[in-house]
Amino acid sequence: MQDGRPGYAGPASLVVGDVRHVVRVRLTGSINPFDGHYHWQGTVYDAPAEVRSGSAAARLCVADVDVAARLVERTAGGHLMISGTGRPPFPL
């Protein structure tokens, strides 16, 4: 990413329940100095309207990396905000 933090922008798959959705994402993250864990977050573009924040278990897949994720909220522009803790779905 341009700010020097690791990140990713590009295609991904968002899995909610048993349904896989092809999406685009823009993600970034950093190690939290207070808890020592890696926290990543970003925006999911092109997610269908029926995918809502707080949905059943969600997973984000980038290439061959598949991680648990939390759908935080839907923005005014209709995009999903997503976050996770631990291994991110992009290379560090």
The domain locations on the chain are 7-71
Average pLDDT over residues 49-74: 91
Q: Which pLDDT band, with edges at 50, 70 and 90, does 4 fall under?
A: low
If 0-12 CB within 10 Å is exposed, 13-18 middle and 19+ buried, where does residue 83 land?
middle
Tokens 């690791």, residue located: 6
Instruction: Convert the pLDDT of each residue in 13-53 to its tens digit.
Output: 999 988 999 999 999 999 999 999 999 999 999 999 999 88
Q: State phi, psi for 39 to the nearest 5 degrees.
A: -115, 130
Residue 82 contacts residue 8 (beta carbons within 8 Å)? no
- Tell me which residue of 76, 55, 69 sits closest to 25, measured CA to CA: 69
Q: State phi, psi for 43 to the nearest 5 degrees.
A: -120, 135
**Stronger pLDDT, 17 or 8, i.e. the higher one:** 8
